[in-house]
């Protein structure tokens, strides 16, 4: 099994660290095991993700 996580940031450079920390503290992604096999796009609106073998992208709000 390939255990890779891809991150794409849709925020400015000066906000990147803030949103990465915010993402890593999110209860659904706070461990490496929860992030594995996922393509993740972090934006101001929330987290867009596509899990391995999923047919559609999922959106998770920051709230």
From first CA to last CA, the distance across the chain in angstroms is 32
The pLDDT value recorded for residue 52 is 82
The pLDDT value recorded for residue 9 is 87
The total domain count for the chain is 1
Q: For 8-61, how does the pLDDT look when each residue is reduced to its tens digit (9 = 90+)?
A: 888 888 999 999 999 999 999 999 889 888 888 999 999 999 988 889 999 999
Q: How many C-beta atoms lie closer than 10 Å to residue 42's C-beta?
A: 22
The model's pTM:
0.80
Domain membership of residue 52 as a residue range:
5-61
CB 39 within 8 A of CB 6: yes
Q: How many C-beta atoms lie closer than 10 Å to residue 57's C-beta?
A: 11
CB 47 within 8 A of CB 14: no
Q: For 1-15, how does the pLDDT look when each residue is reduced to its tens digit (9 = 90+)?
A: 555 667 788 888 899
CB 23 within 8 A of CB 17: no
């Amino acid at each position: 099994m390939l255990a890779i996580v891809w991150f794409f940031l849709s925020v400015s450079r000066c906000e990147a660290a803030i949103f990465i920390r915010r993402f890593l503290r999110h209860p659904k992604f706070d461990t490496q095991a929860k992030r594995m096999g996922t393509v993740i796009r972090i934006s101001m609106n929330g987290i867009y993700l596509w899990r391995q073998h999923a047919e559609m992208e999922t959106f998770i709000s920051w709230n």
